Amino acid sequence: MKITFIGGGNMAGAMIGGLISQGFAASDLFVVEPDQGRRNQLAQEYGLATGAPDQPLPASDVVIFAVKPQQLRQVAQTAAPQLAGALALSIAAGVRVDTLSRWLGGYARVVRVMPNTPALVQAGISGVFAAEGVSAEDRAAVDRILASIGKVVWLKDESEMDGITAISGSGPAYVFYFIESLQAAARAQGFAPDIARELAYETVAGAMKLAAQSDDDAATLRIKVTSKGGTTERAINAMDNSQVRATIIAATQAAAARSRELGDELGRDTEA
Ligand SMILES: NC(=O)C1=CN([C@@H]2O[C@H](COP(=O)(O)OP(=O)(O)OC[C@H]3O[C@@H](n4cnc5c(N)ncnc54)[C@H](OP(=O)(O)O)[C@@H]3O)[C@@H](O)[C@H]2O)C=CC1
Ligand SMILES: O=C(O)[C@@H]1CCC=N1
């Protein structure tokens, strides 16, 4: 399967790294990217061929649009005459299938995916939505690509993509934010930076490993740490008093709203 990425930034890099480590041949991948330094970096790291946006697209089975949502219209219009029947897959937040299909001149083989950066270590999770006309064969090709970089969730209703974006697409950033905060807290307790990092990383990794292997749900596991009248109880009470849970829910609602807003704003453009 020949795959061309248009856009060689953070998410494309994570997908490419994940695909190659799962046995996809570098010679089957191509990246279009304007930044020469980034092109060199991708070529050096993964041994794949790259090109600038003004060069013709190579023949491909799948073209993955991995540019920012605001760049997608122009990029799609340039790519449209060169698709030659390839499956078009977009990872852009917010941009709906019918919008991309219109920008591609009424192209029907369009699939929308919301991956996340743990794809790099095959620990991603992707939400996928395909228009009704997309064949079973194309769906299987999408499954093959995404299953090699993590789990795959097929959506029946495209509007669910906003929630997927808010939870798992953006989600790694929330977890890194928590790790950063725990590290800062360790520094505030007087630990040196390397010890602070180790304490934060090992605690998060250990808790996740325990949660993944346990029959208990997260709330039960939390209660098992929280001795009556002890230290954890004081900390959780402080978090509850600061409405941390409500803040996390509100933050994800803001992310989902931004995804919808991008979809509305970019979809409003009715020019082909
Ligand atoms: N980062 C993430 O965790 C996730 C991102 N996404 C989606 O993936 C897409 C890319 O995001 P991300 O990788 O973070 O963004 P980046 O900005 O890192 O990557 C986009 C890349 O596309 C390049 N580009 C711009 N114009 C063109 C062009 N004409 N042809 C080819 N490449 C071009 C950009 O160059 P330049 O910077 O010079 O403009 C940039 O290097 C977005 O739509 C985002 O919504 C989805 C899931 C997760
Ligand atoms: O922040 C963004 O818009 C993209 C989509 C999900 C993760 N990154």
Domain residue ranges of the chain, discontinuous segments joined by +: 3-159, 171-255
Ligand 2 centroid–CA 238 distance in Å is 30
Strands of 29-32's sheet in order across:
49-51, 29-32, 3-6, 62-65, 87-90, 110-114, 124-130, 150-154
For residue 271, the model assigns a pLDDT of 53
Tell whether residue 151 is among the known ligand binding residues: no
Residue 267: helix, strand or coil by DSSP? helix
Ligand 2 pocket residue status of 169, Cβ below 6 Å = yes
Rounded CA separation 63/58 (Å): 10
Q: What is the mean pLDDT of residues 171-183?
A: 98
Q: Which atom of ligand 1 is nearest to 92's Cα? A: 43
Q: Atom 3 of ligand 2 has which residue's CA nearest to it? A: 93
On whether the CB atoms of residues 255 and 263 are closer than 8 A, the answer is no
| Rounded percentage of the chain residues whose pLDDT exceeds 70 | 99
Look at residue 131 in the predicted model and tell me its pLDDT: 87
Of the candidate CATH numbers 3.40.50.410, 3.40.50.720, 3.40.50.1820, 3.40.50.1970, the domain formed by 3-159 belongs to 3.40.50.720
Q: 182 pLDDT exceeds 70? A: yes
Assess whether the C-beta atom of 124 lies below 6 angstroms from ligand 2.
no
Instruction: Please classify residue 179 by burial: count the beta carbons closer than 10 Å to its beta carbon, then call 0-12 exposed, 13-18 middle and 19+ buried.
Output: middle
Distance between Cα 68 and ligand 2 center (Å): 9
pLDDT (tens digit per residue) in 144-166: 999 999 999 999 999 999 999 99
Rounded to the nearest angstrom, the distance between the alpha carbon of 32 and the centre of ligand 1 is: 11
Ligand 1: which of 64, 67, 73, 175 to mutate, judged by most atoms within 8 Å of the beta carbon? Answer: 67
Q: What's the CATH class of domain 171-255?
A: mainly alpha
Q: Is the pLDDT of residue 272 over 50?
A: no
Interface ipTM above 0.90: yes
101, pLDDT greater than 70: yes
Ligand nearest to C-alpha 70: 1
